[in-house]
Amino acid sequence: MAYHLKLPHRMKQLHPVFNVIKLTPAPDDPIPGRKMEDYPLPIVIDGEAEWEVEEILDSRWYQRRFQYLIK
């Protein structure tokens, strides 16, 4: 059995037909003992969300834009 999905335009590179096995819900905790990180809430300044950056750990050029790894 398979499902034909109507995917958003940004996912056009994916084939829209999926096997039933691929569409089953994921388990609650696939890796036992792993702790999910709680991300800090943003500070809203002039209606825009901002976060305090402690340190820039790395950067890279990706799809004509810079991406930063921050702490």
Please say if the pLDDT value at position 24 is more than 90. Answer: no
Please say if the pLDDT value at position 17 is more than 90. Answer: yes
CA-to-CA separations, 53 to 29, 39, 45, in angstroms, rounded? 29, 12, 15
Q: What is the 3-state secondary structure (H, E, C) of 15-57?
A: CCEEEHHHHCCCCCCCCCCCCCCCCCCCEEECCEEECCCCCEE
The whole-angstrom separation of Cα 10 and Cα 15 is 12
Please say if the pLDDT value at position 39 is more than 90. Answer: no
- The mean pLDDT value of the chain amounts to 87
Model pTM score: 0.38
